[in-house]
Chains A and B, each alone.
Chain A
Amino acid sequence: METLNDAAPKLRLRGVRKEFVLPRTGERTVALEEIDLDVKRGEFLCIVGPSGCGKTTILNMIAGLTAPTGGSLEIDGKPIDGPGAERGVVFQDYALFPWKTVWENIEFGPRYRKGSALAKSQRDERVRHFIDLVALNGAENKYPYELSGGMRQRCAFARALANDPDVLLMDEPFAALDAQTRVILQEELLRIWGETGARDERRTVVFITHGIDEAVFLANRIVVMGSHPGRIREIKTVDLPRPRKPEMRASAAFQELVEHIWQLIRDEAYAATVKA
């Protein structure tokens, strides 16, 4: 298996709790309880778990958009106290700017980011590259409302990548895509992440998904979460060799892992679905 540098985690979560207080009733719900998690530098970490178990909440806290109720979150040993361009996010609801075209959305980070020193020509080249990557050619001048759900998702994906973040936080980024596009983008994502390159040049990815096979295909480790309250049930290491090949999906080792994780969350998922 691949060994990752344990000494200096990229992200460190210690005893992270999150409670939401309903403003009207003052009622408290514990969304997350005592989350301890190290995300290693250059690691591809997937989070799976039933709906409502707090996956998005974890991601928002790492992004610096929500403060934890208790515990601490660190990036490179420094406490996270707000959002930053080094942590790019692909949001579950895309959050594309409706008043900007596909091109302008993707251009947003490189163009307006604090301290961005890209010349217009370099910027255009970069935007063009990512538009090609997510196959949005021909839709450059469309507004988000003119796009299909899958196109919006690809645009959001490209917008985050074009800003060249160190840590990529992705909330079910491929959920709205058809199976073929999803497989293509999974492989592209691994390439962008740096699967084939030197290990210490890889980005760090935290990737939320409902697809267990997607998690197994992509991840170094998979965090399996449970709900009521949201917590980590198990962290599973994926021992499949890299670069990952589509053929591996059929292998016994792959299927075994999928089955194992499925067993873990089946009861949780069932309970969550029946409750909802």
Chain B
Amino acid sequence: MKADAFDGRRMPERPRHGLAGYRSRRLWDAATGVGVYLRTMVVFLLVWQAAALWIGNPILLPTPVDVAESFVELAGTGEMITNIVVSVTRLVASFLLAAVIAVPLGFAMGLNRTVFEMIDPTVELLRPISGIAWIPLGLFILGIGDALPTAIMFYGAFFPLLINTITAVRSVDRSYLNAARTLGVGRATVLLQVIIPAALPGILVGARLAAGAGWMSMVAAELIGAPSGLGFAVEWYRELLMTPKVLAFVVLIGLMGYLFDRVLRAVQRSLTRWAEPRNA
């Protein structure tokens, strides 16, 4: 620390301006954020444009302008909406299914050594296998349809949720458990009022990773094993050699994944208001 850190004149000012000042401050922050984002995008788009011009074949790599045109063409069409709805429904279904199974299982494994030792070897065996590796087998068993992508996305979402829940439950600070026990509460209260809230931040981190992993496996599963969805649309336009549309859907996949993460982040914030803000 510098010697002059305690110099009163150099102390950071507390915000004095009222609510209006706070709002304009927020607006300014948001504007700066967008500015940084745009600058990054401009660089990215310029590189893309240069690469497209250099390759000179719109089927191999269309220019950003072509893709944007396709995107606008597609926007709001029934085709786009249907594919989004189908894929997001699958994501939500597989994510909820994974959460309903992985979180309680993670609690059981985190709290009980015997359960952990019984199940952990299987988990460690399956976890490194990408969901994509199961697609061929899935095709045999489930055929083409809703079931296969949902199952593969479930598989992708399951392990991040499970591992993060186990870790979160295990790393609950002993001092909270001790405090609760010396206040004379029973095991159910310790679980509900102490272990679950203490583990929640870690579980929510797992949930965000899980949604990301599920979304990524979706594309692979739909490319091969589904007659609908965003991944299917990518494959469909590839076969038609309509590369701008392929890329328009790729962009859409990225956008949807980002939005889903934003939603989960908002959920995370509202559920853990009590947590000290890391960088306030």
Q: Which of B178, B180, B184 has the most CB of A within 10 A?
A: B184
Docked-complex contact B185 and A112, CB < 8 angstroms: yes
Q: Contact at B193–A108, with CB atoms within 8 Å? A: yes
Contact, CB under 8 Å: A145 / B184: no
Q: What separation, in Å, do the CA atoms of A108 and B194 have in the docked complex?
A: 11
Closest chain-B Cβ to A94's Cβ sits at a distance in Å of: 9
Q: Compute how far the CA of A145 lies from the CA of B178 in the bound complex, rounded to whole angstroms.
A: 20
Interfacial residues of chain A within 74-130, with CB under 8 A of chain B in the complex: 82-89, 91, 93, 95-101, 108-109, 112-114
Which residues of A lie under 8 Å from residue B182 when comparing CB positions?
Answer: 63-65, 83-85, 87-89
Q: What range describes how many residues of A lie at the interface?
A: 20 to 34
Contact with A along B70-99 (1 / 0, CB 8 A): 000000000000000000000000000000
Cα-based distance from A85 to B179 in the complex (angstroms): 10
Q: Is B22 an interface residue (CB 8 A)?
A: no
Are B175 and A91 within 8 A (Cβ)?
yes
With a cutoff of 8 Å between Cβ atoms, the chain A residues found around residue B272 in the complex are 99
Which chain B positions have C-beta within 8 A of A82? Answer: 181
Distance (whole angstroms) from the CB of A247 to the closest CB of chain B: 36
Instruction: Decide: A100 and B183 in contact? CB cutoff 8 A.
Output: no
Is the C-beta of A163 less than 8 angstroms from some C-beta in chain B?
yes
Q: Which residue of chain B has the shortest Cβ distance to A110 in the bound complex? A: B183
Q: Is B239 an interface residue (CB 8 A)?
A: no
Q: A97-B197, A112-B189, A143-B274 are in contact. Are A85 and B175 (CB under 8 A)?
A: no
State the total of A-B contacts with C-beta under 8 angstroms: 79
Per the bound structure, the CA–CA distance linking A159 and B197 in Å amounts to: 19
Known contacts: A145-B274, A145-B276. The answer to whether A112 contacts B181 by CB under 8 A is: no
A144: chain B residues within 8 A (beta carbon): 274
CB distance from A14 to the nearest CB of B (A): 22
Q: Does B12 make an interface contact (CB < 8 A)?
A: no
CA distance A43 to B180 in the complex (A): 25
**B8 on the interface (CB 8 Å rule)?**
no
Q: Which residue of B lies closest to A97 (CB)?
A: B176
Chain A residues within an 8 Å CB radius of B193: 97, 108, 112
Most chain A CB within 10 A, of B182, B193, B276, is at: B182
Chain B residues with CB below 8 A from A163, complex form: 183-184
Total residues of chain B contacting the partner, CB 8 A: 22
Q: Does B15 contact A (CB under 8 A)?
A: no
Given A97-B197, A145-B274, A108 and B183 contact (CB-CB distance below 8 Å): yes
- Residues in B with CB closer than 8 Å to A95 are 175-176, 178-179
Q: Which residues of B contact A64 (CB under 8 A)?
A: 181-182
C-alpha spacing A93/B179, complex, angstroms: 11
Bound Cα distance from A89 to B176, whole angstroms: 12
Chain A contacts for B128, CB-based, 8 A: none
- The complex places the Cα of A113 from the Cα of B179 at a distance, in Å, of 12
Residues on A with beta carbons closer than 8 Å to the beta carbon of B176: 95, 97
A26 vs chain B, min Cβ distance (A):
21
Contact B178 A83 (CB under 8 A): yes
Cβ 8 A contact of A145, one of B185, B186, B194, B275? B275
Query: Which of A65, A96, A100 meets B181, CB within 8 Å?
Result: A65
Of all chain A residues, the one with the shortest Cβ separation from B276 is A145
Which chain A positions have C-beta within 8 A of B186? Answer: 112, 114
Q: Are A97 and B194 in contact (CB under 8 A)?
A: yes
Inter-chain contacts of B275 with A (CB < 8 A): 98-99, 145
Residues of A within 8 A of B178 (CB): 63, 65, 83, 89, 91, 95
B185 touches A99 (CB 8 A): no
CA of A83 to CA of B186 in the docked complex: distance in angstroms?
11
B157 to chain A, nearest CB (A): 25
Q: Is the CB of B179 within 8 A of A114?
A: no
What is the minimal beta-carbon distance from A59 to any residue of chain B, in angstroms? 10
Instruction: Say yes or no: A100-B179 contact (C-beta < 8 A), given A84-B184, A112-B189.
Output: no
Q: Chain A contacts of B198 at CB under 8 A?
A: 99
With A83-B178, A91-B178, A95-B179 already in contact, the answer to whether A114 and B274 are too (CB < 8 A) is no
Select the residue from A82, A93, A112, A143 with max chain B CB neighbours within 10 A: A112
Residue from B183, B194, B197, B274 within 8 A of A85 (CB atoms): B183
B183–A109 touching, CB < 8 Å: yes
Interface-central residue, A82, A88, A97, A101, by most chain B CB under 10 Å = A97
Whether B197 and A99, one on each chain, are in contact in the complex, defined by CB atoms closer than 8 angstroms, is yes
Alpha-carbon separation in the docked complex, A77 to B171 (Å): 36
Q: Given A99-B198, A143-B274, are A113 and B184 neighbors across the interface (CB < 8 Å)?
A: yes
Q: Which of A149-202 contact B (CB under 8 A)?
A: 159, 163
In the complex, which residues of chain B have a beta carbon less than 8 angstroms from the beta carbon of A100?
197, 274
A selection of 27 A-B contacts at a CB cut-off of 8 Å is A63-B182, A64-B181, A83-B178, A83-B181, A84-B182, A85-B182, A85-B184, A86-B184, A89-B182, A91-B175, A91-B179, A95-B175, A95-B176, A95-B179, A97-B193, A99-B197, A99-B200, A100-B197, A101-B274, A108-B185, A109-B183, A112-B183, A112-B193, A114-B186, A144-B274, A145-B275, A163-B184
Chain B residues in the interface with A (C-beta under 8 A): 175-176, 178-186, 189, 193-194, 197-198, 200, 272-276
